[in-house]
Structure 1
Amino acid sequence: MIDLYYWTTPNGHKITLFLEESGLPYTIRPINISRGEQFDPDFLRIAPNNRIPAIVDHEPSDGGEPLSVFESGAILQYLAEKTGKFLPSGSRARIEAMQWVFWQMGGLGPMAGQNHHFVQYAPEPIAYAIDRYVKETARLYAVLDRQLAGREFIVGEYSIADMACYPWIVPHERQRQNLGDFPNLKRWFDSIAARPATIRAYELAESINRAPVMDDEAKRVMFGQDASTIRR
């Protein structure tokens, strides 16, 4: 059994996509990040960076004590290796899949995240920051669009690379991107959106977070932390 510490963010969706696709039994442990639940000491012991998602595997492959894993890319790799699913077995194909997971972790996610912040949440519009991150998001979309030319999925077969990237494309309108400008990406996006596991994962999100909150208190909690948060 997997305990998934989760909230309804792109990084959280990555893990529900995998779990729904793989059929691994799991339990959702909601962590409402808009109300500061990620700073609870019990959660800190599982996720030292105070971020979702994180998992606890109560039946790790080595037969030992329950194992906790944080960081969405690491969780995807761990679950793929545990199940033998959604990560190509050949060494070259595996490397190709993992480099796209790291591309999302180091590029698409952080840049789109900054896009979200400055376009949606900054207390005042900063034209330079908005332009910078909207353009960089578009560049990354173009990179993925080029990779998908002639491929059904990012590395040919459906893998954790697709699960890592897809949730960060879902809010494309908020990112001021037009999927019609990226035809290969749009075809891929529509294909994943129609998968039964994807539909289940996003229905689950709606059942957990029925009324998303982004009031002043939520902004303070989510965007107002510094080193003192960790040291206290």
Structure 2
Amino acid sequence: MELVLYHGEPNGASLTVLAALAESGLDIPCRPIDLLSGARHALPEIAEPIALDLGIEGEGPVLVIGGEAMTESVFLAKYLDELAGGCGLQPDDAYAHWEMLMWCRQITERLSPAAALLGNLAHSQAAIAAIPASDFAALAASVVSDDLRARWQALHEGRADPAQVADSEAKVDQAAQRCEDKLADGREFLMGAFSIADLVTYSWLAGMELVRPEAFAETPLTRAWLARVAVRPCILAALAMANTPEPLKTWAPGPEINRWG
């Protein structure tokens, strides 16, 4: 069955999946798309689009398998690891595996919406606002999810809720501190051994060093961990697929801000 991975620049969710693919050693065709043009919503030959249309991750990568769209970076990283026969990205121990998944869930529910909002306001909002009205209307009409369309529209109109911005800054700060606490026992990586937890957390947190540097002012262990992950071969391979000089500054509308804190 033919597989194709559509992805944005190696940052956020796309970085997670590209790095997982590199770690797996699988030979899957990769096709870069311009997320800021809405290209994700016009992918060809998709017969089963429900995950594409209603995925909660926002403008994340899409793995197409026999016409079916598969989304959500944590699930895709798990799928690639298992498709490769297990390349070490998931713990074998049942409790450790549960712990990794719980960590990933907190990152995707708390950090990723916050990072996407701050990253878009810092680096992408001007480009989205500059899309001509008629072109933007066509882009918005192609987005099936009401929640995701609303985030596109807010960026196009230059709207930002100060309370959401402040909450997002706090959540980035909390994520950096949470990593600091996890690394305090001397471990090299978040779960001890390098895992999907490191991929997911790095993918959303690395770009925040540029946007929210104060979050890292008193987290030396987190900064050292970011530096260790940055030179992993799978991260370097993913970043080498960039089409822009600074992929960690490339953001697209991401997950919905968690309404429940």
TM-score range, shorter chain: 0.7 to 0.9
Unaligned runs of 5+ in 1: 58-64, 224-232
Q: Which of 92, 95, 98 is the matching residue for 1:95?
A: 98
Match of 1:55 in 2: 63
Distance 1:125 1:98, change over 3 A: closer
Residue 181 (1) aligns with residue 218 (2): yes
- Asked if 1 retains the 8 angstrom alpha-carbon contact of 2:8 and 2:61, the reply is yes
Structure of greater relative contact order (alpha carbons < 8 Å, 6+ residues apart): 2
Q: How does 1:1-232 map to 2 (within 5 A)?
A: 2-8=3-9, 9-40=11-42, 42=44, 45-46=48-49, 47-49=52-54, 51-57=59-65, 68-83=69-84, 84-85=86-87, 86-120=89-123, 121=125, 123=158, 127-149=162-184, 150-178=186-214, 179-205=216-242, 208-209=243-244
Amino acid at match of 2:109: G
**What CA deviation, in whole Å up to 9, does each residue of 1:124-156 have, x standing for no partner?**
676444333212211121112111222211110
Distance 1:146 1:43, change over 3 A: farther
**What CA deviation, in whole Å up to 9, does each residue of 1:111-135 have, x standing for no partner?**
2122224455352676444333212
Amino acid at match of 1:116: G
**What CA deviation, in whole Å up to 9, does each residue of 1:174-193 have, x standing for no partner?**
43124342111111111011
Distance 1:22 1:183, change over 3 A: same
Aligned length: 208
Post-superposition offset of 1:157: 0.3
Unaligned runs of 5+ in 2: 126-154, 255-261
- Asked if 2 retains the 8 angstrom alpha-carbon contact of 1:7 and 1:52, the reply is yes
- Residue aligned with 2:4, SS: strand
- Residue aligned with 1:80, SS: helix
Distance 1:108 1:125, change over 3 A: closer
Amino acid at match of 1:147: K
- Asked if 2 retains the 8 angstrom alpha-carbon contact of 1:134 and 1:176, the reply is yes
RMSD: 2.9
Give me the whole-angstrom Cα distance separating, in 2, the residues matched to 1:176 and 1:7.
Answer: 22
